[in-house]
């Protein structure tokens, strides 16, 4: 998350918003009120409506999509409050990376303003920040996977544990006491930050889920 935030007033004019976007090399600016509560966001694409509208067919009585109507509306905007998308898609400081990534993917946004309990702006998360999680060093991933695998509730037999990691691709070989523990082990390893994929060979001593499966040997 970046705490070096450029935000604009809802009454900022079109030229001011354009200058702020260009000067700070951003493609999204949060719009905040006097208490720095996030009211909405303005993106470069919102400003481009003034150009895009020129290529739309003349207005007719026929049905138009929501996107076309939005372009027509924003092409007439002269202030940030008319340009902005509201309510803004935001996250809290306690939001996990995974939750933020899911929200960004679902809402198709590249930036997420970060707010506190009163919706006051405290930072901005961009997709590059979220992608940093996937750039973790293999050694760090390996250490986390080992810690996960040896959690007491998973019943992993330590002497059987074999793990390797290359470019985020984890190979996991282990035996647990129960089948259900093996299932949980696989799920938890896949949830480790930076893990791209998991190839596992998991075995168990007791099948407690009623499914036919590999049996431990020796």
Distance CA 160, CA 154 (A): 13
Distance CA 4, CA 26 (A): 12
Quick: pLDDT tens for 88-98.
999 998 898 88
**What is the predicted pLDDT for the residue at 97?**
86
**What is the predicted pLDDT for the residue at 217?**
44
Quick: pLDDT tens for 99-126.
999 999 999 898 999 999 899 999 999 8
In the structure, what pLDDT confidence band is assigned to residue 61 with cuts at 50, 70 and 90?
low
Which regions of the chain carry the CATH code 3.10.580.10? 14-133
Is it the case that residue 66 has pLDDT exceeding 90? no
Distance CA 153, CA 155 (A): 6
Closest C-alpha to 121, from 38, 40, 43, 41: 38
Residues 14-39 have a mean pLDDT of 91
- Asked whether the beta carbons of 14 and 47 are under 8 A apart, the reply is yes
Distance CA 106, CA 193 (A): 20
Residues 68-85 have a mean pLDDT of 91
- Asked whether the beta carbons of 161 and 174 are under 8 A apart, the reply is yes
**What is the predicted pLDDT for the residue at 218?**
40
- Asked whether the beta carbons of 106 and 114 are under 8 A apart, the reply is no
Is it the case that residue 29 has pLDDT exceeding 70? yes
**What is the predicted pLDDT for the residue at 60?**
64
**What is the predicted pLDDT for the residue at 211?**
57
Which regions of the chain carry the CATH code 3.30.300? 136-206
Longest dimension (CA), the chain: 78
**What is the predicted pLDDT for the residue at 6?**
87
In terms of CATH, what superfamily is 14-133? CBS-domain (3.10.580.10)
CATH of 136-206, one of 2.40.160, 3.30.300, 3.10.450, 1.10.8: 3.30.300
Q: Which residues in 50-207 belong to E strands, given as ranges?
A: 91-92, 111-115, 121-126, 162-166, 169-178, 197-206
Mean pLDDT of the chain: 89
Quick: pLDDT tens for 188-198.
999 998 899 99
- Asked whether the beta carbons of 32 and 123 are under 8 A apart, the reply is no
Give me the percent of the chain exceeding a pLDDT of 70: 94
Can you name the residues that pair with 199 across neighbouring β-strands? 171
Is it the case that residue 159 has pLDDT exceeding 60? yes
- Contacts with 190 (C-beta within 8 Å, 6 or more apart), sequence order: 198
């Amino acid at each position: 998350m970046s705490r070096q935030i450029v935000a604009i007033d809802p009454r900022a004019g079109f030229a001011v918003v354009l200058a702020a976007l260009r000067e700070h090399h951003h493609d999204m600016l949060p719009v905040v009120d006097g208490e720095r509560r996030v009211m909405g966001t303005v993106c470069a694409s919102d400003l481009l409506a003034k150009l895009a509208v020129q290529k739309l067919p003349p207005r007719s009585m026929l049905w138009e999509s929501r996107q076309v109507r939005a372009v027509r509306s924003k092409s007439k905007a002269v202030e940030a409050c008319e340009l902005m998308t509201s309510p803004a898609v935001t996250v809290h400081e306690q939001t996990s990376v995974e939750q933020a990534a899911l929200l960004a993917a679902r809402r198709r946004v590249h930036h997420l303003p970060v707010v506190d309990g009163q919706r006051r702006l405290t930072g901005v998360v961009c997709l590059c920040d979220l992608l940093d999680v996937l750039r973790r060093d293999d050694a760090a991933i390996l250490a986390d996977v080992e810690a996960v695998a040896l959690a007491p509730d998973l019943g992993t037999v330590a002497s059987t544990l074999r793990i390797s990691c290359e470019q985020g691709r984890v190979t996991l070989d282990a035996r647990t006491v129960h089948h259900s523990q093996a299932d949980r082990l696989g799920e938890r390893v896949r949830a480790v930050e930076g893990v791209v994929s998991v190839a596992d060979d998991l075995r168990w001593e007791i099948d407690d889920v009623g499914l036919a499966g590999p049996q431990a040997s020796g």
